[in-house]
Structure 1
């Protein structure tokens, strides 16, 4: 029995938590504090890198979007003139930006469903329908993901070349003439979408295969014993259980397509006549070709707000409400 009473006893007695568990007295938390200190010390390199290469550029870009920052202000950034919301107001009166916003929306609305649906189809076939050479097909579909965009562009330029390309050669065999895919306002954007779907299909496929392999086999076997067809199994069992994977895949694919830059930059430079100009490419041109850094920064934050809004909408529409 303890003979200590008064304030000293209060300090020595263990504290009770809401669940009835005890925790160490206040005076005995030294090791815990040391562990916290060690954790912060080990985290310091990351925090420094994050602050220098992430947090500072983000804050600087936000401040820059309210100025007329240009090439003349690179050496003395504090001399940039504050213009308030003028850059944002000018954006929505800029026909070129509105055209780029429309092109980006077109790219996303057509490209994301194609990529997700084809990725799901390939994943189901590779997970259930193909027994032999399954690894070979998986590697084949994933190879474009790890291939440099320049190499991909060279291949697709050869395929789409109106004179000597692969499609032109096949069309000639049937007495037809292939269109100028990258030189036509009608065909340029669909051609870039086809290239993006082909290039990103492997990532979506791998994610869906992981989701399919997490579905218990007992559930599928029970559905088959109850007489469910392949389509009914896919619709009633596979897709509902893949909802978390579908949500994640749709969100990251949409974010990537809203930031589309490499495809038009390498293949068309935004042409012909601005038909493949995207927001990211227009931002790059304004910032690094014409050195309108403040205007380009405002464009970046408008795109950020669009991405956040669409992501929140997708999270609300596709989240799993069964839990």
Structure 2
């Protein structure tokens, strides 16, 4: 090894070691637990652990609540990802406008929810969405809309959580999009303007291709985030009403730490890992097709 290679390994080695300890090792242990019946009894005596093969996975396929959680999770992802990315990109385009004043203030204000505690902000939003004295219902009453049971009606609980999650996370993508928009060559925009391109045409044919890799990154991160949704429904609705906000991660938490069925919980974690990996691969291939990578 050359001196430069040894120096490179000196910098990369500790990071790889830490990554192995906090990511690779837990993943391997979860894979091992997924094929056992590891439970609270196994914690007392390892002799109680039995190898069950694929029994945990077949049991999940026969569990209606697992399929309900999987459907809810995909519904959150299908609705939430376009909302979060659309709101982020719209805010970034507004802040990229030269006529907007106090840009640093707006960037900090819109980014602040992302770095605040999920539990604390979820509790605040429970008061905002309260049926009797919530600010949202109070605002709706001014336009003649009656009170809505946002967290107690299965038809309103998912939109309420989506509204909260979009408000909570869109600031991160907004900052990323703002940086990407600032890197779009000014010459291209000027050339398109001189050629008579409208604002929409400049956005469609100049801005979007230029920020394509950033858009792909935001999509991958957002999909993975929504598939791992847990804290928001746990704090706001406890999976209700009528299990309408139970997600895969919520179901895994109940199996592992409510019923102490850690083998089956590990199987759920493994399934979720495979789903996220598959969707990330699909998104990456789409990005390569459109030359975003």
Report the counterpart of residue 314 of structure 1 in structure 2. Answer: 283
Inter-CA distance 34–169: structure 2 relative to 1 (3 Å threshold): closer
1:83 to 34, 45, 52: 52
Select which of 168, 172, 188 maps to 1:203: 172
Deviation at 1:121, TM superposition (A): 1.1
| Structure having the larger proportion of residues in helix | 2
**Alpha-carbon distance change, 159 to 78 in structure 1, aligned in 2, over 3 angstroms:** same
Query: What is the aligned-residue RMSD (CA, Å)?
Result: 1.9
Matched residue SS, 1:291: coil
In structure 2, relative to structure 1, the CA distance for the partners of 1:297 and 1:322 (3 Å cut) is closer
Residues 158 and 317 from structure 1, CA distance in 2 versus in 1: closer, same or farther, beyond 3 angstroms?
same
1:264 maps to which residue?
233
Change beyond 3 A, Cα 1:271–1:36: same
Deviations 1:206-240 (A, max 9, x none): 11111111111111011111111111101111011
How far is 1:72 from its partner? Answer: 1.1
Give the gaps of 5 or more residues in structure 1: 1-31
- Aligned mates of 2:62, 2:69 — CA distance in 1: 13
| Among candidates 146, 149, 172, match of residue 177 of structure 1 | 146
The corresponding residue for 1:27 is none
How far apart, CA to CA, are the structure 2 residues paired with 1:297 and 1:162?
37
Shift of 1:42: 5.8
Instruction: Specify which structure has the bigger relative contact order, considering alpha-carbon pairs within 8 angstroms and separated by 6 or more residues.
Output: 2
Aligned-residue offset at 1:40? 4.9
- Aligned with 1:123 (options 83, 92, 103): 92
Q: Alignment partner for residue 21 of structure 2, among 43, 47, 52?
A: 52
Change (3 A) 1:129 1:119: farther
Taking the aligned partners of 1:230 and 1:122, their CA distance within structure 2 comes to 16
Residue 123 of structure 2, aligned match among 141, 145, 154: 154
Kindly provide the CA deviation profile for residues 79-136 of structure 1, in whole angstroms up to 9, marking residues without a partner as x.
4100000111111111000000000000000000111111111111110254311111
More displaced 10-residue stretch of structure 1: 48-57 or 175-184:
48-57
| Change beyond 3 A, Cα 1:79–1:48 | farther
Distance in 1 between residues matched to 2:164 and 2:187, nearest whole Å: 39
Deviations 1:180-220 (A, max 9, x none): 00001000011101111111110111111111111111110
1:52-103 deviation digits (Å, cap 9, x = unpaired): 3322221111010000000111244464100000111111111000000000
SS in structure 2 at match of 1:177: coil
In structure 2, distance between residues paired with 1:37 and 1:322: 33
- Look up the match of 1:25: none
- What per-residue deviation string (whole Å, max 9, x for no partner) do you get for residues 142-165 of structure 1? 111011112211221121100001
**In structure 2, what is the equivalent of residue 29 of structure 1?**
none
Give the 3 Å change call, closer, same or farther, for CA 225–179 of structure 1 in structure 2. Answer: same
In the TM superposition, what is the alpha-carbon distance from 1:172 to its structure 2 partner?
Answer: 3.4
Taking structure 1 as the reference length, the TM-score comes to 0.85
